[in-house]
């Protein structure tokens, strides 16, 4: 795996997933990959309206993969626990 830093912006709704369980999953992913930063964005929280609009998120769950330059490299509709999607996107 390359040493480039990948950022995942994960959009979710607390109606379906809890931040607590997502935090555990994101820690496991960071431990496994090492070169990934994950930002959890609850679309139900009004303070996240700008970022949700910026990336055009209308349905959840959605993973947005960003390069180290902040460019969208991939977009996947999948839960954060779907590590096979992360493997595919970062390979």
* pLDDT tens-digit readout, 16-32: 888 889 999 999 888 88
| Per-residue pLDDT, 43 | 96
- Written as one string, the DSSP assignment of 53-89 is HHTT--SSSEEEEE-TTS-EEEEE-S-TT-HHHHHHH
The pLDDT of residue 1 is above 70:
no
Integer Cα distance of 26 and 38 in angstroms: 7
């Amino acid at each position: 795996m390359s040493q480039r830093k990948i950022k995942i912006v994960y959009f979710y709704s607390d109606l379906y997933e809890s931040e607590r369980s997502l935090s555990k999953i994101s820690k496991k992913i960071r431990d496994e990959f090492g070169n990934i930063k994950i930002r959890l964005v609850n679309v139900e929280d009004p303070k996240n309206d700008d970022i949700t609009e910026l990336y055009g998120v209308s349905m959840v769950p959605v993973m947005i993969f960003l390069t180290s330059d902040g460019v969208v490299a991939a977009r996947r509709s999948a839960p954060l626990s779907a590590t096979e999607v992360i493997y595919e996107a970062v390979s």
